[in-house]
Amino acid sequence: MDKTILITGGAGFIGSHVVRLFVQKYPNYRIINLDSLTYAGNLENLQDIESAENYTFHKADIRDKDAMDEVFNTYQPDGVIHLAAESHVDRSITDPLAFVYTNVIGTANLLEAAKRIWAGNYEGKRFHHISTDEVFGALGETGFFTEETKYDPHSPYSASKASSDHFVRAYHDTYGLPIVMTNCSNNYGPNHFPEKLIPLCILNILNNKPLPIYGDGKYTRDWLFVVDHARAIDQVFHQAETGTSYNVGGFNEWKNIDLVRELCKQMDTKLGRPPGTSEKLIEFVKDRPGHDLRYAIDANKIKDELGWEPSVTFEEGLSLTIDWFLNNQEWLKQVSSGNYMQYYEDHYSSR
Ligand code: NAD
Ligand code: DAU
d(CA 269, CA 275): 7
Q: Which residues of 281-303 are buried (b: 16+ CB within 10 A; e: fewer)?
A: bbeeeeeeeeebebbbbbbebbe
Does the Cβ of 196 fall within 6 Å of ligand 2?
yes
What digits encode the pLDDT tens for the residues 259-297? 999 999 999 999 999 999 999 999 999 999 999 999 999
- Mapping DSSP to helix (H, G, I), strand (E, B) and coil, where does residue 131 land? strand
Does the Cβ of 187 fall within 6 Å of ligand 1?
yes
Backbone angles phi, psi at 275, to 5 degrees: -55, 140
Percentage above 70 pLDDT, the chain? 99
Q: How far is the CA of 37 from the centre of ligand 1 (A)?
A: 10
Backbone angles phi, psi at 334, to 5 degrees: -60, -45
Q: Kindly indicate the confidence band of residue 350, based on its pLDDT and cuts at 50, 70 and 90.
A: low
Which among 182, 193, 196, 200 is the best mutation to test ligand 2's pocket, defined by most ligand atoms within 8 Å of the CB? 196
d(CA 186, CA 224): 6
The whole-chain average pLDDT of the chain stands at 96
Residue 336, pLDDT score: 84
Burial (CB count within 10 angstroms: exposed 0-12, middle 13-18, buried 19+), residue 121: exposed
What digits encode the pLDDT tens for the residues 162-191? 999 999 999 999 999 999 999 999 999 999
d(CA 298, CA 198): 23
Q: How far is the CA of 56 from the centre of ligand 2 (A)?
A: 31
AA letter at 77? P
Backbone angles phi, psi at 145, to 5 degrees: -80, 130
Which among 13, 64, 68, 101 is the best mutation to test ligand 1's pocket, defined by most ligand atoms within 8 Å of the CB? 13
Ligand 2 atom 10, closest CA: 88
Q: Is the pLDDT of residue 345 over 90?
A: no
Chain-centre distance for alpha carbon 283: 27
**Mean pLDDT within 189-216:** 96
Work out which ligand 2 atom sits closest to the CA atom of 291.
25
Domain annotation for the chain: domains and CATH numbers? 3-186+224-251+296-312 (3.40.50.720)
**Mean pLDDT within 32-52:** 97
Contact of 285 with 257, CB cutoff 8 Å: no
What digits encode the pLDDT tens for the residues 48-88? 999 999 999 999 999 999 999 999 999 999 999 999 999 99
Q: Which residues of 244-273 are buried (b: 16+ CB within 10 A; e: fewer)?
A: ebbbbbbbbbbebbebbbebbebbbeeeee
- For residues 170, 174, 176, 180, the Cα torsion angle rounded to the nearest 10 degrees is 10
